[in-house]
Amino acid sequence: MSKTYGVVLIGCGHIGEAHIEDIYYRDEIRIVGVVDLYEENAKLFARKYGAEHYATDYHEMIQRDDVDIVIIATYARTHLEILKDCVAAGKHVLCEKPMTQADMAAAKEFYHVVKAAKTKVLIAHVLRHNDTYTKVKNMIRDGAIGEVRFIRMVQNHHIMNPKRYGALLEDCPPIVDCGVHYIDVIRWFTGLEITSVGGLGTTIDHHDTETGEFDHGILTMKLSNGGSAYYEAGWANNLAAQNLKEFIGDQGRIRITLQENRAQDAEEGDLIEYYTHGNATYTTINNKSKYKNMWGQLQTLIEMIETGEEGNPSFDEAFEAFMIALVGNEAAKQNKVIELNYKWEEEFK
């Protein structure tokens, strides 16, 4: 890195704190300001993480000449407007996923803003910067389990903070909010395309609200090699918390268990369980890894700024994952299978 980058964080909530606590002490970073609609939140973050300024309105902050990068860590429904203002102000952007609320028109506008931007925009797919996920991706791409035939992924939350998850549900349903990560993981790990998506959903806790969105859903996906995958996600009081990531090929399988979910030996880091049926061998790999490597993510944006290279994921990869999630959410609402094409750019002209 050739300079110190001035950073503004917009959104002093759960994910905003994950960002700032991993970057505020880095030599290459200067936290110019933090912004939140609630002044007490912004003031607390400024004191806690050494921000030079705090505010409840981001507009003046992003006009500062000493601000290079803006981190958008607000609710998805606000991302598009903030992005437009940041790009217009000549700022580079790290934007949390999902890039907008679950809305095709907003997605289309977001796409055009990024494609026309003279600054760099990275969508925060933090698993791309996770060492365990990267290791498993390399194993699969190197043929460790042969041809991928089936992928099972579950991300259910037994919610302990109903207010937080209620607000999230009003913003974006779980099969979109969380699903964009794991749709991207499927494509990143395998190099395959998703050719069709189906879905079903239900409301467990929130059936008496007016959100119109499921708090639990399952996406089913057909892969371009004829294999299949599913992703389940939900936020409810009566769901058991579950985190399953398993990749099954014609020569074996790999399962990822995060350190926090291990029943034993958690001090060893994440657990990668690897089975090969040719010699009926079970291998366990302990892997030290930071689950949310926000610094690695920001470093990627800085590399984009300094070299002009694509991000990880590229914007097109992140956008395609988001569009598949939106189509999957619609499939769940309609209880049907929808065939996919990847001509988003032609569709949006």
Model pLDDT for residues 87-125, shown as the tens digit of each residue? 999 999 999 999 999 999 999 999 999 999 999 999 999
Mean pLDDT, all residues of the chain: 94
**Helix (H), strand (E) at residue 233:** strand 228-236
Q: Which of 61, 86, 52 is nearest to 72 (CA)?
A: 86
Compute the average pLDDT of residues 269-291.
Answer: 95
Tokens standing for residue 165:
């998850």
For residue 283, list its beta bridge partners: 274
pTM of the full structure = 0.94
How high is the pLDDT of residue 161? 85
Q: Which of 292, 97, 295 is nearest to 184 (CA)?
A: 97
For residue 70, list its beta bridge partners: 8, 93
**Helix (H), strand (E) at residue 252:** strand 252-257
DSSP label of 144: T
How high is the pLDDT of residue 212? 64
Reduce the secondary structure of 165-198 to three states and give it as a string.
HHHHHHHCCHHHHCHHHHHHHHHHHHCCCEEEEE
Q: Which of 177, 160, 157 is nearest to 240 (CA)?
A: 157
User: Is residue 140 over pLDDT 70?
Assistant: yes
Q: How confident is the model at residue 206 (pLDDT cuts 50, 70, 90)?
A: low
How high is the pLDDT of residue 127? 97
pLDDT, tens digit (0-9, with 9 covering 90-100), for 235-251:
999 999 999 999 999 99
Which is higher by pLDDT, 91 or 349?
A: 91
Q: Contact 102/172 with Cβ under 8 angstroms?
A: yes
Q: Residue with structure tokens 């009081």?
A: 237
Write down all domains in the chain, each with its CATH number in brackets: 5-126+293-311 (3.40.50.720), 128-289+326-339 (3.30.360.10)
Q: How confident is the model at residue 210 (pLDDT cuts 50, 70, 90)?
A: low
- Low-confidence winner among 101-110, 182-191, 202-211, 266-275 (lowest mean pLDDT): 202-211
